[in-house]
Structure 1
Amino acid sequence: MSNPKFPKMLDYAAIKQQFDDSSPESPSESFSAPIESNALHFEDDPQPKPKGLTGSRLRSYAFAVLTRREYSKADLIEKLALYAMDRDEVLKLVDELARENYQSDQRVAEIMLSSQKRKGKGPNRIKLALKSKKIDASLIQEELKETDWNEQAYQLKVKKYGAKVEKEPKLKAKQIRFLMYRGFEIDAIIKAITRKEDEF
């Protein structure tokens, strides 16, 4: 038996309009397609960013950016230029931060070298990664020279294909292509794929 005190059907659209979509548990959301509304897109909107920064505000923002992670000089310039009033001011500020060692391409290069080596990348891929950040590879020239790339290439080859020395030309070619793609020099690659397990 229906209760005359309650309406037979609820007008969900009217309820939704009344509460201006503020309730995330609005009943209509369970039964209807999403309705285009600003309220439904708050979570998708990026956090408000500072705009038109100059002077101390721009400097403060630069420090805030650098406390989160290391930036190359080129990347920091582009990052700050997005929110600064004047690009020339950004260039002067970044030069100053670099002189005072708050920003350092040297540190970024060392971090990238360590990270790329952990990922099994050879010297050629590492130099390309540095170039993409507009960092001079000469900053870590000594570290590149001191790294045993023969050993790096061999360990990567063993991890991917095992310690067995392949005789089949197609399999050898496959290993060579893999190590070349990873950025190793051909000399290190040949040594890696021909090295026997008991050789040191």
Structure 2
Amino acid sequence: MSGLRYPSFVAPHFVEIEGRGDLPGPVWRACAFTTATAEAPGLARHHHHCLLRGTQDDWQEGAIAWTTETRPLLPQAGAPERMVTQGEAPGLLAAITAALGAAQRPAPDSTTLCLAPAFVAMAREPGLPGIWVCSQLSATGPVTAEQPWSEVQTAYIREHPGQPRPYHCTLESLPFAAVMAPSEAAPPQPRLVARWTCQGLEAAVAECQRRMFAPRPAF
């Protein structure tokens, strides 16, 4: 295990699930994650699904509609089965802050801790195979104020009906420098990619998350 480090979850990362930010038209971005409380930091208490809706021209300073849906994962007397908070914010950063901030409200009397990323479904036409994606900002190396995370990890599960192992999985990892400080003059940044297949969707989700947090070399 010498030289290997366990990635730690820093924050969920929004991905485009419908449309594209570099093309005209509506664009939807989403993320999902679980949270725990300071009293039980390793126990998932809530599942959150955040959705941002806008157009290509809205993401800088336009009005971005955001929605955060929260569901409890543990039985709680008197707690609602589903809580939805929504609003509008000026630009992408403000919308992200508002959507993620809404996830802090289900446990107002305790410190809420981000626990792990979860999968969201890509938009698709009825009858077409499914695609699910899970993305996170994680840290395997030193964390500083200038670099609060060290990499983006994104896992895809693509359905291929009719095959013996119909769920094809891909896990991609990109370092901080490749995302936040790209430069044409800089040398190419390392990019880690792993691929495998699974027989069922539940097994594919579990294996993706296991690999996302498995020990490995830091960038």
State the TM-score, normalized to the length of structure 2. Answer: 0.17
Answer with 1 or 2: which has the greater Rg.
Answer: 1
Between Structure 1 and Structure 2, the one with more strand by share is 2
Q: Which has the higher contact order (CA 8 A, sep 6+)?
A: 2
Higher helix share: 1
TM-score normalised by L of structure 1: 0.19
